[in-house]
Amino acid sequence: MKSLILLFLSCAVALAQATDDSAVRIELGRALLYDKKFSEAAEAFRQVAAAKPGDLDATLGLAQALFWGGNPAEALTVAKTIPADQRTPDVNLMLGDLYLISKDLPGTEKALVAYLNEKPEDAAARVKLADVQSWTKQYDKSLANFEQVLIQLPDDRQVRRKYGTVLSWAGRYQDAARELKLSLEEKP
Instruction: Assign residue 132 the CATH number of its domain.
Output: 1.25.40.10
Residue 186 lies in a domain: yes
Domain containing 154 equals 120-188
Residue 131 lies in a domain: yes
Residue 135 lies in a domain: yes
Q: What is the mean pLDDT of residues 117-128?
A: 98
pLDDT, residue 6, reads 41
Q: Where are the alpha helices (DSSP H) in the chain?
A: 2-19, 22-34, 38-51, 56-68, 72-79, 89-101, 105-118, 123-135, 139-152, 157-169, 173-184
Residue 165: which pLDDT band, with cuts at 50, 70 and 90?
Answer: very high
Tens of pLDDT along 67-104? 999 999 999 999 999 999 999 999 999 999 999 999 99
Indicate whether 13 pLDDT > 60.
no
Residue 148 lies in a domain: yes
Residue 41 lies in a domain: no
CA distance 96 to 106: 10
Residue 49 lies in a domain: no
Domain count of the fold of the chain: 1
Residue 161 lies in a domain: yes
pTM of the model: 0.79
Residue 132 lies in a domain: yes
